Amino acid sequence: MNGSADISAFKSQVPVVTYDVVRSYIARIAGGEESSILCGEKIVELLRSSGTSRGEPRLMPSISEDLYRRTYLYSLIMPIMNKYIRGLGEGKAMYLLFVKAETLTNAGIPIRSVLTSYYKSPHFLQRKYDLYNKYTSPDEVILCPDNKQSMYCQLLCGLVERQHVLRLGAVFASAFLRSISFLEQHWCDLVNDIRIGQLSSNITNSTCQLAMQSFLALPNPELADEIEAICSSGSWKGILGRLWPNVKYIEAVLTGTMAQYIPMLEFYSDGRIPLVCTMYASSESYFGVNLRPLCSPKDVSYTILPNMAYFEFIPLEDGLKLTEDYEVVENDKLVSMVDVKIGCYYELVVTTFSGLYRYRVGDVLQVTGFYNRAPQFKFICRRNVILSVDTDKTNEEDLHNSVTRAKKILESRNYLLLEYTSCTDTSTIPGHYVLFWEIKSTYEDATPCVPIDAQFLESCCIAVEEALDYVYRRCRAHDKSVGPLEIRLVEAGAFDALMDLLVSQGSSINQYKTPRCIESGPALKLLNSRVTGSFFSPRDPEWAV
């Protein structure tokens, strides 16, 4: 381009790329080469994406200026909320925020999550006092590297200030529910801390201990009695409104795969507290905001902010019919923001300030309208992702490869895996992956079949998990945000019955392929009715930072 800012030249000369194309450049920078091989500015950190490539987390380049853009987007949230809800400056927000482990490249460049980057930056730690952004959690507790100790202390702060809490939330719905489950398990300890005015001895982080002194300066048996009466009263349906009686809304990401958590949030809130989804962002870039935050989660649309990045869109002419792999897209097929059409589906492509050029994010969006000339999109799905509980994203190929490894264990006992599919089960907290397996004995007189037992199936569970990608294993072993994988054995003929059901609903019998992920209620009900045994991973998969 030789410094040219000509749009037509950019579109004709710069190819549309996936992560596989830029991976080698990022690896070279991580190894110590100059940032100029990818970007005109110095790359100061690499952001660990929830997506993976060849089993390893994708690393997104980031420059110091990016933090200003992220801070700008955050600064828009409360002015938008104030248009719909009054009095938000009169109380506090109990936002459950956490950092994740970080490492350094050989060249000393930090590798961290985009949220960890923000929470550790001066933009967050040195923020000006703002009536509308007062948190119950001290920064020191948010930055605690032990997420369980951090969660305990943040919940304790929120309970101490229960009458002042006007907003509840976390970044993702899964993280918020994980915290409520933690509260359900540990409320007795939290109540005791409040009653005696002393932090539990289980909190060993010295920074947390110091930060919590002001919250537990004196015993408060009256408050402890109030919380104990609420938590011990039986069903936890509607518990959030009883513990925090002045709360006006719950904020979290509720679109895409996070939508599966809406029923649980409605249970804990008794459907009386609005669920709010405010923004659309990723490790690659921050994208936009929801200008109608009180709409139903299923109706959320995001208005794209054109100053976040340069946005283009690949038309999906067949609607949501996506090929398994990324097909080659010619440069001139992409459309600009102003040229998208209402009702049509597109794949998002970004050019960032930090070295991603015409990069395919993989998000599938549907245009729902315009705000002035800025398009508004509904998030439909992440391309190729079939299973996700938290920040994990497992595609069909990853699942196939992991099941293939476990098949070898089956075959060693003279069993064949005839068919399989999967789903996520979020009725447990944390949620977990479920595999439905139909197996068959290959027994012959000359080779007796070893009887199947629980330990054998458990070894298959862990074999699948060990073969899944880095992010999944981190969520399981370190973050504890995903529960142990479950294999449900189904009786012979279960998958034939599944085919009959799906064909009766309109699938072509000539083109029928067993779906590798089941989401529909009738299909799940059918498979669950044929389950003959259920087995879980006995331990965490191996994971290293």
Which residues have a Cβ under 8 Å from the Cβ of 540 and sit 6 or more positions away? 476, 477
User: Given this model, what pLDDT does residue 53 score?
Assistant: 55
Mean pLDDT of the region 256-261: 79
DSSP sequence for 17-30: B-HHHHHHHHHHHH
Q: In what order do the strands lie in the sheet with 43-53?
A: 56-63, 43-53, 110-112, 103-104
Which of the two residues, 445 and 344, has the higher pLDDT score? 344
> How far from chain centre, in Å, is Cα 307?
25
Assess whether pLDDT exceeds 70 at residue 322.
Answer: no
What pLDDT, in 10s, does the model give residues 27-77?
999 999 999 999 999 999 999 886 655 556 789 999 999 999 999 999 999
Q: Which amino acid is at 512?
A: Y
Average pLDDT value over all residues in the chain: 89
Query: How far is the C-alpha of 368 from the C-alpha of 288, rounded, in Å?
Result: 14
Q: What share of the chain is helix, strand, coil (3-state, %, to 5)?
A: 40, 25, 40
pLDDT level of residue 361 (50, 70, 90 thresholds):
very high
Q: For the chain, what is the total number of helices (H) and then of strands (E)?
A: 17, 22
Which of the two residues, 376 and 54, has the higher pLDDT score? 376
User: Given this model, what pLDDT does residue 21 score?
Assistant: 92
What pLDDT, in 10s, does the model give residues 119-166?
999 999 999 988 888 999 999 999 999 989 999 999 999 999 999 999
| CB 111 within 8 Å of CB 103 | yes
pLDDT level of residue 384 (50, 70, 90 thresholds):
confident
Mean pLDDT of the region 241-262: 91
User: Given this model, what pLDDT does residue 85 score?
Assistant: 96
Give the range with max mean pLDDT: 377-381, 433-437, 448-452.
Answer: 433-437
What pLDDT, in 10s, does the model give residues 86-102?
999 999 999 999 998 88
User: Given this model, what pLDDT does residue 229 score?
Assistant: 96
Which of the two residues, 322 and 285, has the higher pLDDT score? 285
pLDDT level of residue 216 (50, 70, 90 thresholds):
very high
User: Given this model, what pLDDT does residue 324 score?
Assistant: 46
User: Given this model, what pLDDT does residue 105 score?
Assistant: 93
The three-class DSSP label of residue 504 is helix
Which of the two residues, 440 and 199, has the higher pLDDT score? 199
Which residues have a Cβ under 8 Å from the Cβ of 437 and sit 6 or more positions away? 417, 419, 420, 487, 488, 489, 490
Assess whether pLDDT exceeds 60 at residue 511.
Answer: no
Which of the two residues, 138 and 391, has the higher pLDDT score? 138
Query: How far is the C-alpha of 348 from the C-alpha of 383, rounded, in Å?
Result: 10
Query: How far is the C-alpha of 364 from the C-alpha of 345, rounded, in Å?
Result: 7
pLDDT level of residue 451 (50, 70, 90 thresholds):
low
293: which 2 tokens?
């935050």
Query: How far is the C-alpha of 188 from the C-alpha of 190, rounded, in Å?
Result: 5
Beta bridge pairs of residue 351:
310
User: Given this model, what pLDDT does residue 2 score?
Assistant: 61
| CB 211 within 8 Å of CB 240 | no
User: Given this model, what pLDDT does residue 510 score?
Assistant: 46
pTM for the complete prediction?
A: 0.80
Q: 285-294, 344-353, 380-389, 506-515: which has the minimum mean pLDDT?
A: 506-515
